[in-house]
Amino acid sequence: MSKILAVHASPRGDRSHSRRLAEVFLAALQARRPQAQLTRREVGRALIPPVNEAFVAAAFYPEPNARPLSMQADLALSDELVNELLGHDLLVISTPMHNFSVPSGLKAWIDQIVRVGLTFDHTLDNGVAQYQPLVRGKKALIITSRGGFGFGPGGELESMNHADTLLRTVLGFIGITDVTVVAAEGEESADRTFDVSAAEAEERLRALAGEF
């Protein structure tokens, strides 16, 4: 994987654990693959606009090749984000868990890159919509930090983890099914829970750098 798109979703800057963990992975990957090209997309500290009526009208315009200029303008950022995603082969998302899901900036980015005719398509089968992914040959790594503990597979709070499930579902929907999640948990614990979890996450990320 030689072209990496890193999407950063924490509203925090230097204090962000998910960003710090992402840097551990990216540094390890770049050390192994100095020629790898890295692009960064900020969605946590820069505004990605939410979908509005103009966006919906333009995105679902029945003749996508003949959109009026004003509609093309309404989709300009979305086009840019889609092309950016399509132009890379490894997607790295660093994100905190916010209210059992992802921060709104990351959700806004998702809403911009899930585009009919570009990243997915749909046909009718006896009047029932069938969806087809259009993205091929990409992998994703989700690097996440959580205040609580036990949101991972088999954990006590797994059923409340709508962050990983959202990301896996939506990435799979557009065709990115090879998704790995690495989490550090327990930032809000008073003991060493988070230190231990973050150290394990770092170790896993350094190992993963050799696998991508």
Ligand X SMILES: Cc1cc2nc3c(=O)[nH]c(=O)nc-3n(C[C@H](O)[C@H](O)[C@H](O)COP(=O)(O)O)c2cc1C
Q: Contact residues for ligand X (CB under 6 A)?
A: 10, 12, 16-19, 96-100, 145-148, 187
CB nearer ligand X, residue 148 or residue 152: 148
Q: Of 17 and 115, which CB lies nearer to ligand X in the complex structure?
A: 17
In the complex, what is the shortest distance from the CB of residue 145 to ligand X, in angstroms, rounded to a whole number?
3
CA dihedral 65, 68, 72, 75 (to 10 degrees): -90
**What is the Cα–Cα distance from 7 to 85, expressed in whole angstroms?**
10
Residue 101 annotated as binding site: no
**70 annotated as a binding-site residue:** no
Q: Would the annotation count 2 as a binding residue?
A: no
Q: How far is the CB of 106 from ligand X (least distance, A)?
A: 11
Pairing of strands 128-133, 120-125: antiparallel
Structure letter (DSSP) for residue 89? S
Tokens of 87: 């132009």
Cα-flanking dihedrals φ and ψ of residue 162, to 5°?
-95, 5
List 78's β-bridge partners, or say none: none
CB of 15 to ligand X, least distance (A): 6
Annotated binding-site residues for FMN read 10, 16-18, 145-148
Query: Per the annotation, where are the binding residues?
Result: 10, 16-18, 145-148
